[in-house]
Each structure stands twice: as C-alpha cells, then as structure tokens.
C-alpha cells in the first residue's frame, strides 16, 4: 500500500429515469397521502425506470457523463467498481456489462453489494486498489432500479424508493500531485449482520429461486440510523483529525430527511452545508450519494479544495463514512 498515493475525484456524472412519480400518484395505488409522505420522509417525488431503462443502462450513462466531466475516454479506465443491490442479472456482475458497453476490454470490473452503503463501500474499495498500484483510474458507480424490488401493495415501503445512477472517476495522484491535499483522506466501514431481518429482500437464487420483494421494519431501522451514522463519522473525524466546523459539504445517503437533519444536528454540521436530494429522488440506495454529489458539483456548490463528508447506512446493517478533499 503506497500511502503517498491519493485517490482524487476528477469527474462526476449522474442520470435519472425519464418518468417522474409524485406522491399524489400513489394515492390511487395504496392508502397514503402526499402529506404523510412529505412529513415522515421529506420525499415529494422520485424517478421510476421505464421500458429499456435498467441498472446497467443507467450506470453506463452516468459513467459516460463522469468520464466526459473528467475529460477522459473509456480506454483511460482500468477498474470499475459498481455498487448495486438490483443487478440486471444475478450474474455476470453489472460492472462487467458496463465495461463491455463502454468498449473497455482491459483492466477489471466487479460489483459490490452493501445495499444503501454500497457507494461508500465501492469508493473505499477502489481507493485501496489505487493505493495498492493495481489500478490507476477507476470508475466508481452506484446504480439501482429499486422500483423492481418493491411490493407495490405495501405502503410502508413502496413510497420510499426511487431509481437512478451516479458515478465518479477516481485517479491515483502521487508525489508532488498530492501536495494540495486532494483526494480521499479517510474511510471507515462497518457492518452488523445481527440486524439483517430489519431490512432485506424475501427472495434470492439460492432460497426461493425468485428475485423477491423488499421488506423493512422502518421504525427499527430509523431507531439505529442516527447513532450508527454519527459513530462512524466521529471515528472518521478522529482518524483525520478534523472537526465538524471544517466540513464544507455533508453529502449523506438520502433515505429520510428526518434522519439526515438529526444526524447533522447531532454532529454539529450547519444545515446550509447539507446536500439534500431526497425530496426529488427518494431513496435510491447505492445511487443516492453519487446522485447528490453530482447535483452539488454541477450547480457549483462543491468546488476544488472543499472538504466533503459522505455517509451511508442501510441493509445488513452496513454503514460507513468517507472524507474527501475535492
């Protein structure tokens, strides 16, 4: 491991399916209301994949946009790490399907499965490959079509999720290039499988032979979320010797506005530094952080030199945080 190497984000990209579903559109499907969904979650609308839109097709488009923002070609990439819980096929990995779609036949590509924490896990994994010298430029993608896992009769889950994809290009910088301190500074990952029945899918190739549907004890997940999120962030602060005041942008996983606000408050991060997209994306699982990152980069909020804090928590439970000098 070369500690002098830093993995620097040199481009971001994202894409959302064309179809927008507003809270009001659920009112004829399940017993719910726009008011309940807004108050309890902060969600107003989400995008839902249509015919021809899949995890791989969304991931490919997000990757192309990230490459274009970085001024790079697919041939410049030698590693693809794709976080998803909704792959196009049980195998091969969606990452190799994206690799083929981009016309890349060198390097290597694989999927990471950590549900809503998938992007933080994928970014940390790619960072370690770059630091090890096994790869030089990585595409890290979070892509999901959770709408296809939902039980559309279950009002406690179907209103919460959306589809989309986001990607970043990570580049290994070494020696003098790292003097400006850019790149991933620290990551911390956690999991505790004792909580697996609180958020899971009730099917799979080795059990039912079907894809299954998402099941969640929402209140139970909520109960653990803020504590787990703040613990792993505080561990990251300590490892990097930084405090909440030094954070320029907090880009949390977008599951519920109340969880985001409570976490920021507990950590002492000012509300104006928090990037929010849950209102218009819903919970897009592994895609939520790269979608939010790209939104805040595209509108000029996140700028070179900013200290950016990422955080996620989800099924498993899995959770993690990442500090990046942009």
Q: Is 215 in the site for ligand UT7 (CB under 6 A)?
A: no
Q: Is 219 in the site for ligand UT7 (CB under 6 A)?
A: yes
Q: Is 113 in the site for ligand UT7 (CB under 6 A)?
A: no
* Identity of the residue, 56 or 216, whose beta carbon is nearer to ligand UT7 in the bound complex: 216
**Candidates 81-89, 106-114, 153-161, 176-184; binding stretch for ligand UT7 (CB under 6 A):** 153-161
- Please pick, among 23, 116, 281, 322, the residue that the annotation labels catalytic: 116
283 is catalytic: yes
Task: Identify whether 210 is preceded by a cis peptide bond (ω within 30 of 0).
Answer: no
In the window 17-56, what residues touch ligand UT7 (CB under 6 A)? 32, 36-37, 40-41
116 is catalytic: yes
* Identity of the residue, 98 or 259, whose beta carbon is nearer to ligand UT7 in the bound complex: 259
* Identity of the residue, 136 or 155, whose beta carbon is nearer to ligand UT7 in the bound complex: 155
Q: Pick one of 112, 221, 291, 292: the residue that binds ligand UT7 (CB under 6 A).
A: 221
- Please pick, among 23, 213, 281, 283, the residue that the annotation labels catalytic: 283
Long-range interactions of 64-68: CB distance < 8 A, separation 24+: 64/13, 64/102, 65/12, 65/13, 65/14, 65/15, 65/167, 65/294, 66/11, 66/12, 66/13, 66/139, 66/167, 66/168, 66/169, 66/294, 67/11, 67/13, 67/139, 67/169, 68/11, 68/13
The string of DSSP letters for 169-237 reads EEEEE-GGGGGG--EEEEEEEEE-GGGGGGEEES--TTTTSS---EEE-HHHHHHHHHHHHHHHHHHHH
Residues near ligand UT7, by CB under 6 A: 32, 36-37, 40-41, 116, 155-156, 159, 218-219, 221-222, 225, 255-256, 259, 283, 314
């Amino acid at each position: 491991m070369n500690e002098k190497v830093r993995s620097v984000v040199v481009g971001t990209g994202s894409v959302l399916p064309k179809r927008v579903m507003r809270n009001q559109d659920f009112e004829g499907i399940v017993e719910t209301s726009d008011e309940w969904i807004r108050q309890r979650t902060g969600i107003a609308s989400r995008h839902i994949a249509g015919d021809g839109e899949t995890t791989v097709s969304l991931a490919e488009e997000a990757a192309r946009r990230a490459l274009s923002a970085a001024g790079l070609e697919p041939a410049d990439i030698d590693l693809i790490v794709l976080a998803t819980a909704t792959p196009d096929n049980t195998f091969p990995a969606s990452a190799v399907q994206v690799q083929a779609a981009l016309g890349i036949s060198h390097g290597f590509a694989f999927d990471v499965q950590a549900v809503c924490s998938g992007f933080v896990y994928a970014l940390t994994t790619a960072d370690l490959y770059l630091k090890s010298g096994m790869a030089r430029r990585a595409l890290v993608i979070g892509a999901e079509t959770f709408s296809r896992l939902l039980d559309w009769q279950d009002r406690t889950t179907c209103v919460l999720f959306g589809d989309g994809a986001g990607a970043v290009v990570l580049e290994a910088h070494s020696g003098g290039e790292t003097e400006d301190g850019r790149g991933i500074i620290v990551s911390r990952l956690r999991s505790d499988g004792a909580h697996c029945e609180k958020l899971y899918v009730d099917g799979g190739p080795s059990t039912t032979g079907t894809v299954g549907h998402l099941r969640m004890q929402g209140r139970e997940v909520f109960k653990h979320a803020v504590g787990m999120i703040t613990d792993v962030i505080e561990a990251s602060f300590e490892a990097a010797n930084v405090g909440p005041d030094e954070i320029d942008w907090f880009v949390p996983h977008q599951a519920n506005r109340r969880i985001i606000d409570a976490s920021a408050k507990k950590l002492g991060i000012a509300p104006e530094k928090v990037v929010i997209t849950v209102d218009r994306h819903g919970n897009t699982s592994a895609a939520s952080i790269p979608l939010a990152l790209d939104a805040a980069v595209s509108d000029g909020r996140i700028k070179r030199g900013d200290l950016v804090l990422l955080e996620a928590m989800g099924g498993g439970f899995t959770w993690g945080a990442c500090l990046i000098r942009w």
